[in-house]
Amino acid sequence: DAKTTQPPSMDCAEGRAANLPCNHSTISGNEYVYWYRQIHSQGPQYIIHGLKNNETNEMASLIITEDRKSSTLILPHATLRDTAVYYCIVRVEGGKLIFGQGTELSVKP
Amino acid sequence: DTAVSQTPKYLVTQMGNDKSIKCEQNLGHDTMYWYKQDSKKFLKIMFSYNNKELIINETVPNRFSPKSPDKAHLNLHINSLELGDSAVYFCASRGPWGSPLHFGNGTRLTVT
């Protein structure tokens, strides 16, 4: 069980913000939320992770709701190179990262 | 600098053969993983090693045998290859608890 639910696909216009939602309603108090992306034929690439607070790095921002049952990954100015499958993952017991189906983001000119 | 490197990138072989995939990380991480991505693009964990010791072993056929000669290397040996083993295999490593995984670029295995 992936423990996360994401829309299968989304479109975004180039230069606009891409907001990717994720539901993780069964998350435990000490479980982190991680976001990865996989560009065609490459290995998954780490983007950002968080526990309770919102996080920002050079790639993206992560907004986690106060009850921690959902989060949103924000790519502030999407480019064509951001077209990829985005995975929202909760680390389960034992340290495993279990990937779900992810959201296929298409950034269009 | 390549953080997590896998060899070979492509591997084509016949059913029944035995093959190995190598993985090395230069990040100084203690924990390494093998994941399998099938044709439906699901990424499934297979194994995890911490300091050369097996800590996660999912329900993988025993034809798959990971070997960790040191904490920077985690190789995957597959005996008696079957058509269903065709997939992309990803190696990953992780630092301290809570830190993210770093993945290699995968080995595409095709069994004919």
Kindly state the average pLDDT of the residues B83-89. Answer: 95
The answer for residues whose C-beta is within 8 angstroms of residue B33's C-beta and 6 or more apart is B45, B46, B47, B48, B49, B56, B74, B91, B92, B93, B94, B101
CB < 8 Å to B45, chain A: 96-98
More confident residue, B20 or B100: B20
The predicted pLDDT at position A94 comes to 66
Where do we find the tokens 């993952």? A89
User: Which pLDDT belongs to residue B55?
Assistant: 85
What's the mean pLDDT in B98-104? 90
Average pLDDT, integer, range B80-88: 96
Q: pLDDT value at position A93? A: 64
Q: Cα–Cα distances in Å, from A25 out to A4, A5, A66, B4?
A: 8, 9, 12, 33
| pLDDT, tens only, A57-84 | 999 999 999 999 999 999 999 999 999 9
What was the pLDDT predicted at B52?
Answer: 83
Nearest CA in chain A to B89: A43
Give the pair of three-digit tokens for residue A4.
Answer: 């996360």
Tokens of B53: 């010791």
| SS3 call for A69 | coil
Q: Where in chain A does DSSP place strands (E)?
A: 9-13, 18-23, 33-38, 45-50, 55-56, 61-64, 70-75, 84-90, 103-108
User: Which residues in chain A are contacts of B101 at CB distance < 8 A?
Assistant: 36, 44, 46, 97
The reported pLDDT for the residue numbered B1 is 61
> With contacts defined as CB-CB under 8 Å, which chain B residues touch A41?
106
The predicted-structure confidence for B31-50, as pLDDT tens digits, reads as follows 999 999 988 788 899 999 98
Among the partner-chain residues A42, A97, A99, the one whose CB lies closest to the CB of B105 is A42
- Average pLDDT value over all residues in chain B: 92
* Number of other CB atoms surrounding residue A65 within 10 Å: 12
pLDDT for position B57: 84
Report the sign of the C-alpha dihedral through residues A26, A30, A31, A33, in that order: positive
How high is the pLDDT of residue B4? 96
B100/A46 Cβ within 8 A: yes
Q: Which of B92, B40, B19, B110 is nearest to A45 (CA)?
A: B92
Is B2 an 8 Å CB contact of chain A?
no
Report pLDDT for A85.
96
- Both tokens assigned to A42: 């490459």
Residue B93 vs residues A25, A52, A86, B42, B104: alpha-carbon distances, Å: 28, 24, 20, 19, 9
**pLDDT for position A30:** 80
pLDDT value of position B40 = 79
- Looking at residue A86, its pLDDT comes to 97
Low-confidence ranges of chain A (pLDDT < 70): 1-2, 92-95
One-letter amino acid at B4 equals: V
